Amino acid sequence: MLNKPFDQIERADIERLVADGVREGRYIDYKMELPKGSDGERKEFARDVTSFANAAGGYIIYGVTEQKEGGKNTGVPASADGLPGVNADQEILRLESMLRGNIDPVIPGVRLKHIDGLQGSIIVMSIPKSWAAPHMVAVDTDSRFYSRGSAGKQPMDVREIRSAFLLSESVGTQIRRFRDERLGRIMADETPVMLEGPRRLVLHVIPFSSVLLNAHMDLKPWEKPLPAPIGGSVTNFRHNFDGFLTWIAGRGNRQHSYLQVFRTGALEAAATLETTPPQDGLFEFYPNHIEGGILDRLPKYIAQLRSSGVEAPLIILVSLLNVKGATVHMSRRSFRGTFPVDRDTLLLPEALLEEYPEDLSQAVPKLLRPGFDALWQSCGVSQCPNYDQEGNRCD
């Protein structure tokens, strides 16, 4: 169960925990009942949840009774019959409200689901290791931090709290370092396949788990159907040292684009940037094509990461290389007062996907709007013209 995508967890997985006598500890906590609304129960709920988020993440499973010894719970599951007489959908909404109101800061990426048991629903809560840790209990006068070990939850000491703050601050630094290292390799043509032309579009999708946990993703789901790079259909694929690679053939021994799927769950999609032939150091490029290529592929990449069991949050980074002197191509619209890009490398504003949305086709364009605005602004255009006044995509 611990290595299974959350969406695929089913009753048989819970029953297997009972049959195998898997004791609660660092990654699992069993609860016979749901928390009620008193201050004491809200505190205990917040302590349980934050202890997982501040440690390595884990699961709280409601509707499981424990074996007893001397009248006390042993931590070993006895049965998983469920919660009789409970409206699971309403209770999940209540638990979500408790998560928002009793923990500071709110933990991103917590997920809940219910599974049918023999006597009622079993409610499973998945709590990721948090990139925004440490999280504090915020009920009444209780404002302590908790972590979790093999014996369960315990208060964090000053050293642990300090380390958690430093780790949280370092996540962004590690992600940007990864991006900068990869861009350096691309500019030096140290890529898994050689790309055509000097100008490149690069899309990075980096799960926080890839730097927080040094995670290893199952690559088999990426082999069929093959994920296409930006700009066309897959013509070749293979495994490589970093993970799994697909690419679109170009001219000679150069390729048009590639998608590198890293074992950690990070993705790198790089493509030749289409431009007009340079004249006196100036050339035109096609922001509409750039946006269209990204929006065509990115929702599919994110959906595949989710189905592969990679937890949110994800950070999305778009970079354009060797674009100094580029101006907007005036094919359909006329933009007054446009100017050439004044630098070789454009690093568009980062986009953070804290949780997987229900509709990626709607969420992704809105998420990338600030980056697309910056792309057009690099040429003197006030904003991306492909959104309406409400921020909806209108191309």
User: How many residues in total does the chain contain?
Assistant: 395
Closest CA to 282 of 329, 214, 234: 329
Nearest Cα to Cα of residue 132 among 375, 358, 352: 352
Residue 62, Cβ density class (10 Å: 0-12 exposed, 13-18 middle, ≥19 buried) = buried
Q: Is 382 left (phi over 0), alpha (psi -120 to 50) or beta?
A: alpha
Maximum pairwise Cα distance, the chain = 87
Q: Are strands 58-62 and 121-127 parallel, antiparallel or unpaired?
A: antiparallel
Closest CA to 321 of 183, 156, 194, 214: 183
pLDDT at 236 (0 to 100): 92
Contact 223, 308 (CB under 8 A): no
Per-residue pLDDT of the chain (395 residues; tens, 9 = 90+): 667 788 889 999 999 999 999 999 889 999 999 999 898 999 999 999 999 999 989 999 999 999 998 888 889 999 999 999 999 999 999 999 999 999 998 998 899 999 998 899 999 999 988 888 899 998 877 778 999 988 788 888 888 888 887 777 778 888 999 999 999 999 989 999 999 988 999 999 999 888 866 678 889 889 888 899 998 888 899 999 999 999 999 887 889 999 999 999 999 999 999 888 888 778 888 999 999 999 999 999 999 999 888 888 899 999 999 999 988 876 555 555 578 899 999 999 999 998 898 899 999 999 999 999 999 999 998 899 999 988 889 86
Instruction: Assign domain 6-156 to its CATH architecture.
Output: 2-Layer Sandwich (3.30)
Q: How much is the pLDDT for 91?
A: 95
Q: What is the pLDDT of residue 251?
A: 81
Residue type, 201: L
Rounded CA-CA distance 387/367 in Å is 12
Q: For residues 94 and 151, what is the distance between their CA atoms, to the nearest angstrom? A: 28
- Amino acid (1-letter code) at residue 110: V
Structure tokens that stand for 248 in this block = 């679109």
Ranges in the chain annotated CATH 3.30.950: 6-156
